[in-house]
Amino acid sequence: MTDNDNFQNLAQQLIDAGRFIDRQGWVPATSGNFSARLPDGTIAITVSGKHKGHLQLDDIMLIDADAQSLDGKKPSAETHLHTSIYRRFPNAQAVLHPHSPNAILVSKLFEKEIVLAGYELLKAFHGISTHETSMTVPIFANDQDIPRLAQQVEAYMDSHPPILAYIIAGHGLYTWAASVAETLRYLEALDHLFAYELRLQGVKP
């Protein structure tokens, strides 16, 4: 498969993911951004300012591992958060970032992290084979200075066990996995798990 074939294949997967995510109400207006890593290490990512439920092939651009545009298009302001994930996790091949209401509500109720424990649905995540476990999703304060925010996330990861997702308070969720399909599964599972925790807090999302 040529580099162009790889790009078009992954771009279509991101387009399809965007339509699914939009149907759930997780990317209102032009919010959110998605990416996928090509075999050569370059990254297909959504361009800035596009509605993620109506993406076309021209709305997916190509960047290098340092977040520099390779085709003259403008990437999302949050591109550095994607590239930092790819640098840290060699097995990560896709990153999805919606502005889901449940993730945002969780960030308002839980100050620094949310711990998901004892749920059968945790088995949706790679490497988890029992409900008798827990998963921590850290919460970071929002920051318009994205490189600075990326450094804060990196500092947390340097001093804590590996994570599969994080929330930016009042903003949205980041999660990643070995394919677009697997990342989408993580996203759906996390949204349900957040809804369970919100109901335990008396919130009906």
C-alpha angle 176-182-188 in degrees, rounded to nearest 5: 85
DSSP summary character for residue 83 = H
- pTM (two decimals): 0.95
What domains are there in the chain, each with its CATH number? 3-200 (3.40.225.10)
CA 116 to chain centre: 18
What is the distance between the alpha carbons of residues 102 and 190, in angstroms, rounded to a whole number? 9
Q: pLDDT (tens digit, 0 to 9) for every residue of the chain, 205 residues total?
A: 678 899 999 999 999 999 999 999 999 999 999 999 999 999 999 999 999 999 999 999 999 999 999 999 988 889 999 999 999 999 999 999 999 999 999 999 998 999 999 999 999 999 999 999 999 999 999 999 999 999 999 999 999 999 999 999 999 999 999 999 999 999 999 999 999 999 999 887 6
Nearest alpha carbon to residue 180 among 47, 35, 44, 78: 35
Q: How far apart are CA 139 and CA 14, in angstroms?
A: 25
